[in-house]
Chains A and B, each alone.
Chain A
């Protein structure tokens, strides 16, 4: 009873010098959830742009059949007319407009050029009910969370009478709860006959929703796995994506844990705008030499806020509490104080907060420690190059030279530049916030190896991560946060995903 809704045959798309897609085949059946997997740069997004008309029909080879009719799209609006709607990773909502206005943006409910507000808001409310979003349609989009904004995007797609919904990394910015809700919604829509294509890195999500998985590697289709044939397993997907078996996702390490390096006592942080709101409440934690400590928590639990407030009060106001290093109280009121006391913080958002993307590798690596390279206020450029070359080798940064612009590097290599920057500041404590976000499987392993090496060198490492298996794979001890409280401290031997999740949701029970 399976009928194909979409057939893409022999899709080849060439950019100058690069074959982005080579003879790619994709078959999607009506009413299924079809996942597309592949490492970053494998060609997933390019394929979706071919499908949705971002790349006009005459700029690639191959044919697309949608509902058994050939498609020749020249733009997104052509594909939307046929009921193919793509929701991009970066949400395309206008923050100051209301939910209803956003839903009907470009498709205004108007008579003779005048917007019919009653109809707009009424219809929007119906769509919101369909996606399970309990918000007033006149609320400005900036006032709702990212998870809810994602639902608004889907409501917008539904308003266009979508037959095939394409979601590009829909849960990348969502917490587990919102992700779960979104995945349920996808399944719910499936029940209503909407076919979905979902691009995702998160294999557990794929296993939850996908009826079929197509794996793309280096611009080629590797295989399509089908649930009803029992082919969708984590091992099989990973093998397809990287082209080899990963014997272990995490490097082996022998922890060699020494004295306590950093202790945070009674740490409280208020929200920067809403002063009545406590984001972190009376947190106590410590980390020892050679130890990797995890901070687990759902989105909004206060992990990043805790780390950034310790690192030079870069988040929040009116913090109370004390920071001790080797038993002595230290002042970390500014970033340069924190750096001077040997604390480094690698941000979760390396593109907006971690790197100067228009600058080259060496200048990014030296940025936090220019004084170390300077004599009388002038930077020793030779020394800078020597240092950067050293990190390029030791961190295995793949770039033609240290004069390469960081904006052109892959996510994994950018992360290595960020880590190099902080290693050069010679910290005793490294706080790594989501160190593998947006990085493909192969590069993740490299980052884990670097973390293990840092610990072996005697650094104290704090890792903040939303991926529990990752924390379980690399940490010696894990703290859990919920609603600003530290709710648990679990040695790795006792930690399981279930036990951590139990502590992470403790507040709500």
Chain B
């Protein structure tokens, strides 16, 4: 009984993380049923990955910006602008792809530096600066393209959007073996990492996750990875952009969790003044976050352009909203200080599966927008409802008891009322 209670208590305390994951699975199952199995066909899974890759790339940078307590409305325009720049460099000027890609990323960094300067050093709110940026870079996109699309791009660049890793079996076997090796390898690495982390947490007595839940969660994640591997391997193998995305997710997760820079980002979003008085160079961190956002927006623009095989005046329109939605559905807090790269990826996938599933069903963009908007509202609403109900934090026993009776309003984490916070520690 106590073990069960403990497990349930843990689950309620992690309702948000568990909930978002379960939501993704339910949405996948729902559309799998509605589309008569088309959603999880190998070809469609591959499409899903490629179609959403640029939003996911943007969501990585976006969640970091949001964690620091800012926002970036300009990423769609910046992605479109970089697509245009790539078009001019490669198609008009004849630059080779290996020179154009770093050059485009550099332009992205400069764009980020421009916005970061106004936000960090001048002190204009990010909302205003990037709203201006949204207009400025859309304008520059149109100017650069002279209102006409640029096409076609060479195959090497197109590979970034729609290419696959080479088939080592030479196309003879049913399964693409390189993908199988990579997928199984990644799964094993994940298992080892999970066990290692749990051992360390146990060692320092920080573990609150019941064994049962750990086994279920880890086994499930591993199974999911293997299924995706199998599906990809039965079509054309691993999309190149998936490799890029996986590398980014791993690198940025490490950066946000363990690096000094990542810690400073969370600290700034959690309490700017306390961060400043702890010797953190808050302006420099903010500046770098926007430079980083610019580079990722440039990369997303390149992937998008490569996939369409054309740089278009309207390219990237609305990306900012999808990536912001991904970050918030993935659990980032509007007030900053809270959020994860992994959460933003799941949030992005939820949006992606909704898009893809509804397209297969033949629903128009009208209904797609309506439903996506509602999903965003419900996800964040659930978050706030959950926070109000449980009072934040992760005190598991208390959480579980609180399930039946809602606590008084004063149990909420209000940083101003000293008596209230006092009471929480009793």
Cβ–Cβ < 8 Å partners of B254 in chain A: 378
Q: How far is the CA of A423 from the CA of B260 in the complex (A)?
A: 19
B366 at the interface (CB under 8 A from A): no
1/0 contact string of B198-222 vs chain A (CB within 8 Å):
0010011110100000000000000
Which secondary structure characterizes the binding site on chain A? Answer: mixed
Cβ–Cβ < 8 Å partners of B208 in chain A: 403
Say whether A370 contacts B425, CB under 8 Å: no
B264 at the interface (CB under 8 A from A): yes
Task: Tell me which of A121-129, A244-252, A351-359 binds B.
Answer: A351-359
| A385 and B271 in contact, given A363-B263, A367-B263 (Cβ under 8 angstroms) | no
Say whether B280 contacts A18, CB under 8 Å: no
A72 at the interface (CB under 8 A from B): no
Q: How far is the CA of A378 from the CA of B251 in the complex (A)?
A: 12
Interface size class of B (residues with CB under 8 A): 35 or more
Cβ–Cβ < 8 Å partners of B267 in chain A: 356, 359, 363, 367
Distance in Å from the Cβ of A305 to the closest Cβ of chain B?
A: 14
Distance in Å from the Cβ of B422 to the closest Cβ of chain A?
A: 4
**Per a CB cutoff under 8 Å, which of A49, A382, A408 touches B204?**
A382
| A357 and B271 in contact, given A16-B407, A336-B281 (Cβ under 8 angstroms) | yes
Q: How far is the CA of A351 from the CA of B421 in the complex (A)?
A: 10
Chain B's closest residue to A359 (CB) is: B270
Say whether A356 contacts B275, CB under 8 Å: yes
Task: Tell me which of A39-47, A74-82, A231-239, A262-270 binds B.
Answer: A39-47
Q: How far is the CA of A499 from the CA of B200 in the complex (A)?
A: 57
B315 at the interface (CB under 8 A from A): no
Q: How far is the CA of A381 from the CA of B203 in the complex (A)?
A: 12
| A370 and B270 in contact, given A55-B408, A356-B275, A411-B421 (Cβ under 8 angstroms) | no
B107 at the interface (CB under 8 A from A): no
A396-455 residues at the B interface, CB under 8 angstroms: 398-405, 407-411, 413-414, 421, 438, 440
Say whether B278 contacts A409, CB under 8 Å: no
1/0 contact string of A42-65 vs chain B (CB within 8 Å):
001100010000010000000000
B41 at the interface (CB under 8 A from A): no
Q: How far is the CA of A421 from the CA of B275 in the complex (A)?
A: 12
B330 at the interface (CB under 8 A from A): no
| Total of A-B residue pairs, C-beta within 8 Å | 169
1/0 contact string of A299-326 vs chain B (CB within 8 Å):
0000000000001101000000000000
Cβ–Cβ < 8 Å partners of A359 in chain B: 266-267, 270, 337
Say whether B263 contacts A370, CB under 8 Å: yes
Distance in Å from the Cβ of A128 to the closest Cβ of chain B?
A: 27
B259 at the interface (CB under 8 A from A): yes
Say whether A377 contacts B260, CB under 8 Å: yes
Say whether B419 contacts A45, CB under 8 Å: yes
Distance in Å from the Cβ of A170 to the closest Cβ of chain B?
A: 14
9 contacts between A and B (CB under 8 A): A334-B281, A335-B280, A351-B418, A352-B274, A403-B208, A404-B395, A407-B392, A407-B415, A440-B422
Which 5 pairs of residues, A with B, have the shortest CB-CB distance?
A: A356-B270, A410-B425, A41-B422, A368-B278, A336-B279
Interface residues of A (CB under 8 A from B): 15-18, 20, 40-41, 44-45, 49, 55, 89-90, 311-312, 314, 334-336, 338-339, 345, 347, 351-359, 363, 366-368, 370-371, 374, 377-379, 381-382, 385-386, 389, 398-405, 407-411, 413-414, 421, 438, 440
